[in-house]
Amino acid sequence: MKKITFILFFVLLFIGEIYSQSLYRFRFEEPWSIALSAGATQYFGELYSFWKYDEGIQPDYNIQLTGRYTYGTRLKVRSDFTYYQISGQDPKADPVSYRPPRNLHFRARNFELSLINEYYLKPVKLYNLNRHFFNPYIFVGVGLSTNNPKARLRGEWVPLRPLQIEEQNYKGIVVVFPMGLGFKYKANPYMDVFLEGNYRFTLTDYLDDISAFNVSEFYENLIADYGVAGEGPNPDRLRLAIRNPDYVLENGEPNVDKILQSNGRVRRGSGLENRYDGFLTINFGVEIYLAQDVWDNWIFRNRGRSYRFW
């Protein structure tokens, strides 16, 4: 009887050791994680107004790489590197906005680097195995983005910032303030999937290269740069500043005489003061927690000299 009890004791001890080691591999040793996400981007500015007019959704795209670090019970800090496209165009404008006659458009492909603080509804400083299956979070941060709007002219995309169409030397780097809401779901001990909405407030009205209500304050300089029949030092400034069909000749060139007669009262922007541009991203992504055995026990398994997907 004592012999059986002794054997039973060691069997239970062995099973307990195996079980404890199987749980030990899911410990939260390293608070680091990486994430990759992609989704839609929507610009808000002089060429698009979702809230005021019936213009529908006009999405572009973005892709984002993220590194996260857990430093508090419900707190994480992250760094995002994002490549995104934004665009706008008058042909899709609501007729009641009186914007379609401008015939303006732009496209920008920018890079953004930001530092963001996240607050989670449920604790996040946990063992991998004990992470909550569903965990909403809010976030706010600050970042820098390139700013390089372009417009199509004669079949080519022309950079607008160097032209200083509105006589403004705005910067190629702008400050952004990302903030928003996200939802995470635990797919397994090593991975979460998430959905996130992130709106960027900015300190510029020139994401789209448009701010002034009309060209009355600088139209004479535009015409001087255009010269006679487009032979001036920089004729593209006028060509891209005024595209309204009422002020364009049949050959596509600006109607200088008519612009002069109007004293530059050719509409360009919204006319609102202190209105900064912004953009929204809605992304779906995957986050991988960098546990010590993530490669051996999830993505790859080592069997001798050969590896296979698990």
Walk me through the domains of the chain, giving residue ranges and CATH numbers: 28-212+267-296 (2.40.160.20), 214-265 (no CATH)
pLDDT at 303: 46
Q: What is the pLDDT of residue 144?
A: 98
Identify the DSSP state of 234: -
Name the nearest CA neighbour of 159 among 195, 110, 201: 110
pLDDT at 23: 47
Q: What is d(CA 88, CA 201) in angstroms, rounded to the nearest whole number?
A: 17
pLDDT of residue 130: 82
pLDDT for res 290: 86
Token pair listed for 210: 């448009």
Q: Looking at residue 298, what is its pLDDT?
A: 52
Residue 271: predicted pLDDT: 66
Q: Where do the DSSP E strands lie in the chain?
A: 32-44, 60-70, 75-89, 105-120, 134-146, 149-153, 156-159, 173-188, 191-202, 278-289, 300-303, 306-309
Burial class (CB in 10 A: 0-12, 13-18, 19+), 202: buried
Rounded to whole angstroms, the Cα distance separating 295 from 290 reads: 9
pLDDT of res. 12? 41
* pLDDT for the residue 236: 96
- pLDDT for res 25: 54
Q: For residues 302 and 295, what is the distance between their CA atoms, to the nearest angstrom?
A: 9
Quote the pLDDT of residue 114.
98
Residue 5 makes CB contacts below 8 A (sequence gap 6+) with: none
- For the chain, 310 residues long, the average pLDDT of each consecutive 10-residue run is 50 42 52 95 89 82 97 95 96 82 94 98 87 95 98 95 95 97 93 97 95 94 92 95 93 94 90 81 95 60 45
Nearest to 43 by CA among 195, 196, 172, 202: 202
